[in-house]
């Protein structure tokens, strides 16, 4: 089984699906001849041509608006937003039109497309290339939000997303685009949307994470075991909407202690929703407060990026704190 990185997994999934379904078109800034700023679409233009791999103007509202029109008329568009930070000019198209068309038509027609975007920090991109704004989209009824953390899940979840009837925001953690590698089968396979994964079994503390923070959580779990013998269970959420609440509750019932890790600011970040679900369904199992290790409630910094992002020591400190209750 080949070992590839996340960028290669994205490219492989797009290429295989475009060969399988000629309704699929890719569009976005520099996705064509240049292969995208992170080279995720490299080679697609040469194989499928300008009618199916389209370079667009620097106009995100136009990219998403065009993709919505394509989807309504039967195509299966996959627009790329070059950085998630650039998506805000298209916000009205996404939340007002894309997310609501199926409901508005009473289910008579859908508007399926997959919006791909690299998100998060870790590349010294400053505050206009490093944001984690996934919570905006999880709050929008009608959208699914998918965030893989491994090459295997990237390919499997992207294939599932392309075939799903609903509009999907597919966020790719650019910090680990090439830093994380793993075995990924050639050919077709899917990972179900809405199912979390137990990345590490444990009995003392449940750590919930997604995207690049999964790997920080895993390292912190190993450090906690080495230092204090604490066994942490790490859950990779994989999709935020739909959220696998059953997997979350099952882990909390096992451990009774919770640490949530994400890059976005703490206030109204997705960790708040996870906390609320646990409080509603499993509060009697808790042995202490729910702790969140997150970004800070400030714009994303440039020179202090390593202090802003959740780190292994910060997660480890939260594990030690919750174990004292």
Closest Cα partner for 110 from 87, 78, 143, 154?
143
What is d(CA 288, CA 214) in angstroms, rounded to the nearest whole number? 22
Residue 129 known to be catalytic:
yes
Q: Which residue in 112, 129, 215, 262 is the catalytic one?
A: 129
d(CA 33, CA 29): 10
Q: How far apart, in whole angstroms, are the C-alpha atoms of residue 232 and residue 258?
A: 10
Measured at the CA of 92, the angle between CA 89 and CA 97, to 5 degrees, comes to 135
Cβ contact 278:290 at 8 Å: yes
H-run or E-run covering 274: helix 270-282
CA angle 211, 213, 219 (to 5 degrees): 130
Side-chain-side CA neighbours of residue 39 (13 Å): 6
State the angle between helix axes of 270-282 and 245-255 in degrees (0 to 180), rounded to the nearest 10.
60
* Contact call for residues 152 and 191 (beta carbons, < 8 A): yes
Distance CA(297)–CA(309), nearest Å, equals 12
Residues tagged active-site: 129
């Amino acid at each position: 089984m080949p070992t590839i990185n996340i960028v290669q997994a994205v490219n492989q999934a797009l290429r295989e699906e475009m060969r399988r379904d000629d309704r699929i078109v890719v569009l976005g800034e520099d996705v064509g001849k240049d292969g995208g700023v992170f080279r995720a679409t490299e080679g697609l233009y040469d194989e499928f041509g300008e009618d199916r791999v389209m370079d667009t103007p620097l106009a995100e509202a136009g990219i998403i608006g065009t993709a919505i029109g394509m989807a309504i008329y039967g195509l299966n568009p996959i627009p790329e937003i070059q950085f998630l930070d650039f998506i805000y000019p298209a916000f009205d198209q996404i939340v007002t039109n894309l997310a609501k068309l199926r409901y508005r038509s009473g289910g008579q027609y859908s508007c399926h497309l997959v919006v791909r975007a690299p998100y998060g920090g870790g590349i010294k991109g400053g505050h206009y290339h490093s944001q984690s704004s996934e919570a905006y989209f999880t709050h929008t009824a009608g959208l699914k939000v998918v965030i893989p953390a491994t090459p295997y899940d990237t390919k499997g979840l992207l294939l599932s997303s392309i075939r799903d009837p609903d509009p999907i925001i597919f966020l790719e953690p650019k910090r680990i685009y090439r830093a994380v590698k793993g075995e990924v089968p050639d050919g077709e396979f899917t990972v179900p949307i809405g199912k979390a994964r137990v990345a590490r079994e444990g009995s003392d503390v449940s750590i919930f994470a997604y995207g690049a923070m999964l790997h920080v959580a895993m390292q912190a779990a190993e450090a906690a075991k080495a230092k204090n013998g604490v066994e942490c269970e790490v859950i990779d959420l994989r999709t935020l909407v739909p959220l696998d609440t059953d997997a979350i509750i099952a882990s909390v019932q096992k451990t009774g202690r919770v640490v949530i890790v994400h890059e976005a600011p703490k206030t109204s970040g997705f960790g708040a929703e996870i906390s609320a679900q646990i409080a509603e369904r499993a509060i009697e199992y808790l042995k202490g407060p729910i702790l969140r290790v997150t970004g800070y409630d400030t714009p994303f910094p440039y020179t202090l990026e390593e202090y802003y992002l959740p780190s292994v020591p910060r997660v480890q400190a939260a594990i030690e704190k919750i174990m004292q209750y």
